Chains A and B, each alone.
Chain A
């Protein structure tokens, strides 16, 4: 049964859906979050940060914010959406920071590290994922969540606080961009 966390200083009172209350130690809460969401959040963070170290830092920060946050979480879907949204916000904050804007990521490191992203299924085509990771952020997150995390348009709209129509448009335009990148890559390979 899913457990709802309500934040306190050192521990959280956990409440299941029957309204029964029990205490969970910090370690147990941490283990639950890590087991349930770490891999998925790491993938979302990697899609934005494009390097392993930053993605891991972002996930840690998202968990910490979740544990400190005292707003009620309605259900598991709400919890998942909250964590994804927070992860994306942390990524955006870092990407907008002056330090990060002054650094230039190496293309080679993206190519090498994108293969390290663990997906719970086999993908046939690495080049498509690489193209998705190179998309501008407003296309990248909807495309990544829709195709690689299997989110519906309705769910993505909720996570990103956008209208469903906006998400559909971004999916369509993002797809066109990916197609252009793949065609361009094929042409350059043929030359």
Chain B
């Protein structure tokens, strides 16, 4: 018995798996893969549409989650121009010019108008404490950004 014959014998003795994919199966798999890729692409597009997009000329530098209400996530996008991260000062309610208590969303916002900008402190129920410095002059009128909206409200409240 030659070496090839021994090998051949061994190969034949391996039983076929009952669910082993044949040539037809490969085509089905490729089709399924293409469908999945298409679906994932669509889902990504949908996510991008629902996320806040930076304004023209602005750079997206980070995303801070502002909790959720009835399954809808509210995202705060820190922008290079209007909103900048700041050092947390542990400002209390009495010192603040504007306060938002959002129990159902899991956060509080405190704002203080400081002439050229608004200092905003956000406290989340997971223990995070973040601070922002918002230049309200650079905030767009129809902004959907909660921190920006809050800063604008703070200025309006102090001016009225």
Contacts and interface: CB of A to CB of B under 8 A. Distances in A.
A153 B108 CA distance: 13
B101 A178 contact: no
Contacts of B69: 179
A121 B103 contact: no
Contacts of B75: none
A188 to B, nearest CB: 16
Given A132-B103, A147-B108, A148-B101, A175 B93 contact: no
Given A124-B100, A146-B125, A164-B127, A171 B92 contact: no
B60 to A, nearest CB: 28
Contacts of B3: none
A150 B91 CA distance: 10
B94 interface: yes
Contacts of A125: 101
A183 interface: yes
A175 B70 CA distance: 11
Contacts, number: 52
Given A168-B126, A171-B106, A175-B103, A150 B70 contact: no
Contacts of B93: 120-121, 150
Interface string B96-111: 1001110110101010
Contacts of B127: 152-153, 164, 168
Contacts of B110: 150
B125 A172 contact: yes
B104 A178 contact: yes
B107 to A, nearest CB: 9
A168 B99 contact: no
Interface string A108-127: 00000000000011111100
Nearest to B99: A121
Interface string A54-84: 0000000000000000000000000000000
A178 B108 CA distance: 15
A182 B94 contact: no
Contacts of A121: 93-94, 96, 99
Contacts of A168: 125-127
B94 A128 contact: no
Interface string A157-174: 000000010001001100
Contact of B125 (A132, A148, A175): A175
A49 interface: no
Interface of B: 69-70, 92-94, 96, 99-101, 103-104, 106, 108, 110, 123, 125-127, 129
Interface of A: 120-125, 128, 131-132, 143, 146-148, 150, 152-153, 164, 168, 171-172, 175, 178-179, 182-183
Given A120-B93, A152-B123, A178-B103, 19 more contacts: A121-B93, A121-B96, A121-B99, A123-B101, A131-B103, A146-B125, A147-B108, A148-B101, A150-B93, A150-B108, A150-B110, A152-B129, A164-B127, A172-B125, A172-B126, A175-B103, A179-B104, A182-B104, A183-B70
